[in-house]
A and B are shown apart, each in its own frame.
Chain A
Amino acid sequence: MRLVTLLAEVDTEKCTGCRTCQKVCPTLAIKVENRKAVVDSEKCRGCNNCEQRCPVYAIKMVKRVNPVRVYVDPSTVDRSEVEALCKKARFNPEQIICYCTETRAEEVAAAILKGADTPEKLSLETGIRTGCKVECIQPILRLLEAAGITPERPDGYQWYGRTPTVWDIPEEIKEKYSHRGFYFDQDIKVLNKVAEGKKSLEEAR
């Protein structure tokens, strides 16, 4: 769930039409048209990315007169499907996967089951990846992959691709580095316990 309280506003006198804002917007809400950036207020989730990266400081965030609440209610889809999708992506449905918006895996799974098939649509519908814009891209890509979806990359820097998880690390790599303080197998146990539900952490030591 995300309460959207801000909206990007472009100073067209300053805007040079460089497209930086367009390339970093996680909901594709800003586009350059006729050499000036234009914001789609319906799509803007107030994340500040455009304002923070504009090289000529042409964007400011203004308070919305009417804040917008975005949320996909997980109870509106089949619970067993939500659980199966989260399990396949190795998440507990209740696990928080976006620390800024406190979005849980089940909400993103529900949005996928309802048809959202790109990280941009998921950000638009749940608000995920509109806080810090940094830490939650991998859970999004993992859940989409678990749903059998290979999203098309936007023509910008929004995201590049899914990266390895601890489950993907080859045994020889684990063996090579475990004596340096990397506890891969032990962490796998912890993450598996979380994905499975309430189990003792003692076994993960």
Chain B
Amino acid sequence: MRKPITPMKPRVSQYGVDPKYVTKRMADYENITSLMLKDLFPDTPDVIFPSDKGVEAIREAAEKALENVDMSMIKPEHSVNICASHHGFTLLGGEPYAELLKTVRDVIARRTGTENIRLRAGVGLRFRETEEYIKSFGLDKYFNGKAKGVAPVDEGIAIETEIGTLYGIKAIYDADWIVHVHNSDVREVHFHRQVDRAVKPFGMSYARIETRSTYHQNLGPRGANFTARAIFNSDFVQKKFAFTVFLNMSPAGVVSVDADNNLYALNDRLTVDGCKYYGKIMTLLGEIDECIVGLDFPCPVPYVFAAGVIYANFTGANVDLFDLDGPLPPYTWYTEAFYGKDGKPLIDNVPPVNPAIKMVVHNYAWGGYPSAFFSNHCPTIVVGREQADLLNRDPQNLQYMEHAVIADNLDAAMEFAYRVAKTDKVIIFDGAVGGINVSTSLAKLLLEKAPIVSKRVDEELLPKWLKQRGINPDILK
């Protein structure tokens, strides 16, 4: 029995409770073991991070990837915005992404002669989150004071696209050139459906509220991410876009750094890798028949993750989230919108939230994202009055605690969960790197199912997913 993987440490943030209140982690229990991705799926790719080289491996890989990128359009007198997003800082402790941003800055300065290089870091729904990361990783100093967190309510700029006017954040585009630095972690597959994953920030973290609302309310569950493509294709953005650099992620860590002057070429590569790397673990977690879920990571409820899978993905693991033939995932904002006042869906055949989830123990997770849907659909115990108070103060979560109960401590919560859920299978979303912390009983089930899932994904699902996205499955040969 492997020891549990050390969970990601609590982080000081205005969006979560003080780490002093996180007195015990779910991985601390004796019946918790860990499964490494490589043990589940031997074809899991090798990673450059985590590794003995630390973040130096990221710098080396980024320098190499950038060798083939054309930067001749950037002149010494030009300004450059390196555009970033909060999400990268939540991966593997955030250091790899911070190092990537620093490296991109250094290479641009060295190769073009410009020193007017700014960091513009977008956010999700926590408007000061990237400010916190900028300070915590010393990016303000590294960018000589030219590092700024931007939010979707900041001053906007109209962008004419082939479907009409959309709106970006003005500060993202206030330079001669923009460089798009992101990561390929699949994360919100329920929203973007792994369609144009690499383009998404143009419709989200670089976008104003009008555009983000278009994504989540106007275009539908499988057309949503077109907002990103529409903006990126616009003359306005094309004239400013210089190149892109990505951390190519797998559930086990950073596989490589990819860079290109052609975002769509990089997007195709990452679409294949994303389906391949994440498809297996997500499909495997869909095989779980019953479990108690542990939320134990410094992120809002849906984003707590382990083995590259976020909790929001797991709430939809009872269906194939990559399969575009399915119109609605069990959780996405469109689905949430379609529940009527009686608590039942307004249309037939809306897939239910993963029925394998018997109980959720919210040991440590932030506010800052509308999460009442989760506590409304899954029995939830929140550990500690402080977390309950935090959620009750959060304008995005005023109803979360209406559906949850409070336990004084983790031991009491687990005792209650075992008694009521009547299962000893536990899965923990605690940011474990390279694998996942689970109970021994669940580990046994997952090890049994993994080879079957692996074969099914390779032979049946992956070719189908790629075909649905306009990519010839022969690319896998």
Query: Which residues from chain A sit less than 8 Å from chain B, CB to CB?
Result: 2-3, 5-6, 23-24, 46-49, 52-53, 61, 63, 92, 94-97, 99-102, 104, 130-139, 142, 157, 159-166, 168-170, 173, 177, 179-184, 186-188, 190-191, 193-194, 197-202, 204-205
Contact = CB atoms under 8 A, between A and B. Distances in A.
B424 interface: no
A179 B210 CA distance: 26
B442 interface: no
B167 interface: yes
6 contacts: A63-B393, A92-B340, A168-B164, A181-B468, A187-B223, A204-B327
A163 B226 contact: no
A100 B216 CA distance: 13
A53 B149 CA distance: 10
Given A53-B153, A182-B226, 12 more contacts: A94-B341, A100-B395, A131-B398, A133-B209, A161-B167, A180-B195, A181-B222, A184-B220, A194-B346, A197-B347, A198-B348, A202-B349
Interface in B344-371: 346-350, 369-370
A100 B370 contact: yes
Interface residues of B, number: 70
B195 A181 contact: yes
B54 to A, nearest CB: 34
Contacts of A52: 127-128, 151
B151 A164 contact: no
A95 B157 CA distance: 30
Contacts of A102: 372, 399
A122 to B, nearest CB: 14
Contacts, number: 209
B218 A157 contact: no
B148 to A, nearest CB: 10
B18 to A, nearest CB: 17
B346 A166 contact: no
A201 B395 contact: no
A135 B346 contact: no
A101 B395 CA distance: 8
Contact of B214 (A49, A138, A186, A187): A138
A166 B215 CA distance: 10
B163 A97 contact: no
Contacts of B392: 5
Nearest to A204: B327
B196 interface: yes
B470 A180 contact: yes
B220 A160 contact: no
B346 A183 contact: no
Nearest to B268: A180
Interface stretch (B95-103, B330-338, B446-454): B330-338
B208 interface: yes
Contact of B163 (A92, A94, A95, A164): A164
Nearest to B271: A181
B51 interface: no
Given A96-B336, A138-B213, A181 B151 contact: no
A110 to B, nearest CB: 14
Interface in B149-198: 151-156, 158, 162-167, 193-196
B339 interface: yes
B229 interface: yes
B325 interface: yes
Contacts of A142: 218
